[in-house]
Amino acid sequence: MHVYHIQPLEEDEAWDLFCKKAFSSNSNRCYLPDLVSFAQELVRKCEGLPLAIVALGSLMYSKNESQWTYIYKSLNWSLNNNPELEVVKTILLLSFNDLPHQLKHCFLYCSLFPEDYEIRGKRLIKLWMAEGFVEQVKGSTPEEVAESCLVELIFRSMLQVVHRNEFGRPKACKMHDVMRDVALPILEKHNFGVIHDGGEAMEKCKARRMSIHKMDVELKSFMGMSKLRSFLVFNNCNTLPSGSKLLRALDLQDVPIDELPNEVVNLFNLKYLNLRGTLLRRLPNSIGRLLNLQTLDIRDTQIEALPHGIGNLQNLWHLIMYRYTWNWNDFRYVNGTNVPSNISRITNLQSVSAIESNGDLMQQIRSMTQRTRIGISNVKEADEMDLCDSIQNMKLLHYLFIMVTNEEETLRMDALSAPPPNLRLLILVGKLEKAPRWFHSLQSVTYLYLHWSRLEEDLLPHIAALPNLGLLSLVNAYVGKQLCFSIGFPKLTKLSIGNFPHVNEIIIGKGVMPNMKSLWIASCMELKTVPKGIEYLNLQELILKFASMELENCIVDSPKVRHIPKIYYHW
Q: What is the pLDDT of residues 187-228, one digit of tens each?
A: 999 999 999 887 655 556 778 999 998 876 555 444 456 788
Residue 29: per-residue pLDDT: 47
Residue 420: per-residue pLDDT: 93
> Pick the residue with more confidence: 44 or 538?
538
Cα–Cα distance measured from residue 58 to residue 62, given in angstroms and rounded to the nearest whole number: 9
Residue 81: per-residue pLDDT: 65
Average the pLDDT over 164-169 and give the result.
82
Average the pLDDT over 160-167 and give the result.
86
Q: Give CA angle at 380 (377, 383), nearest 5°.
A: 105
pLDDT band at residue 34 under the 50/70/90 scheme: low
Q: What is the pLDDT of residues 119-140, one digit of tens each?
A: 999 999 999 999 999 888 888 8
Rounded to 5 degrees, φ, ψ at 498 are -140, 145
Rounded to the nearest 10°, the torsion over CA 107, 113, 118, 123 is -70
- The pLDDT of residue 334 is above 80: yes
- The pLDDT of residue 76 is above 90: no
Average the pLDDT over 369-390 and give the result.
89
What contacts 3, CB < 8 A, 6 or more positions away?
none
DSSP 171-227: EEEE--HHHHHHHHHHHHHTTS-EEEESSS--SB---SEEEEEE--S-GGG-B--TT
Structural contact between residues 235 and 252, judged by C-beta atoms closer than 8 angstroms: no
Q: Which of 434, 219, 441 is nearest to 450 (CA)?
A: 434
Q: Which of 57, 43, 60 is nearest to 8 (CA)?
A: 43
Average the pLDDT over 448-459 and give the result.
95
Residue 447: per-residue pLDDT: 97
Residue 363: per-residue pLDDT: 78
Which of 388-397, 414-423, 473-482: highest mean pLDDT? 473-482
Task: Quote the mean pLDDT of the chain.
Answer: 87
> Pick the residue with more confidence: 363 or 448?
448
Average the pLDDT over 458-466 and give the result.
95
Residue 33: per-residue pLDDT: 62
- The pLDDT of residue 186 is above 60: yes
Task: Find the range with the poorest average confidence among 191-205, 432-446, 459-473, 521-535.
Answer: 191-205
- The pLDDT of residue 393 is above 60: yes
Residue 178: per-residue pLDDT: 84
Across the strands, what pairs with 427?
Answer: 401, 449
Cα–Cα distance measured from residue 306 to residue 304, given in angstroms and rounded to the nearest whole number: 7
pLDDT band at residue 89 under the 50/70/90 scheme: confident
Residue 3: per-residue pLDDT: 42
Identify whether 172 is preceded by a cis peptide bond (ω within 30 of 0): no
Residue 1: per-residue pLDDT: 41
Residue 430: per-residue pLDDT: 95
pLDDT band at residue 376 under the 50/70/90 scheme: very high
pLDDT band at residue 73 under the 50/70/90 scheme: confident
Q: Which of 561, 446, 552 is nearest to 492 (CA)?
A: 446
Across 381-399, b (16+ Cβ under 10 Å) vs e yields eebbebbbebbbbbeebbb
- The pLDDT of residue 14 is above 90: no
Cα 481 versus chain centre, distance: 36
Q: What is the pLDDT of residues 513-551, one digit of tens each?
A: 999 999 999 999 999 999 999 999 999 999 999 999 999
- The pLDDT of residue 28 is above 70: no
Q: Which of 208, 280, 275, 278 is nearest to 246 (CA)?
A: 208
Percent of the chain with pLDDT over 90: 56
For 278, other C-beta atoms within 10 Å of its C-beta total 22
Across 349-377, b (16+ Cβ under 10 Å) vs e yields bbbbbbbbbeeebbebbeebeebbbbbbb
Residue 5: per-residue pLDDT: 47
Average the pLDDT over 160-182 and give the result.
88
Cα–Cα distance measured from residue 247 to residue 272, given in angstroms and rounded to the nearest whole number: 9
Average the pLDDT over 237-260 and give the result.
84
Q: Is the dihedral of CA 162, 108, 232, 336 positive or negative?
A: negative
Structural contact between residues 271 and 249, judged by C-beta atoms closer than 8 angstroms: yes
Task: Find the range with the poorest average confidence among 157-166, 301-310, 447-456.
Answer: 157-166
Percent of the chain with pLDDT over 70: 90
For 65, other C-beta atoms within 10 Å of its C-beta total 11
- The pLDDT of residue 79 is above 90: no
Rounded to 5 degrees, φ, ψ at 243 are 75, 20
Cα–Cα distance measured from residue 458 to residue 484, given in angstroms and rounded to the nearest whole number: 9
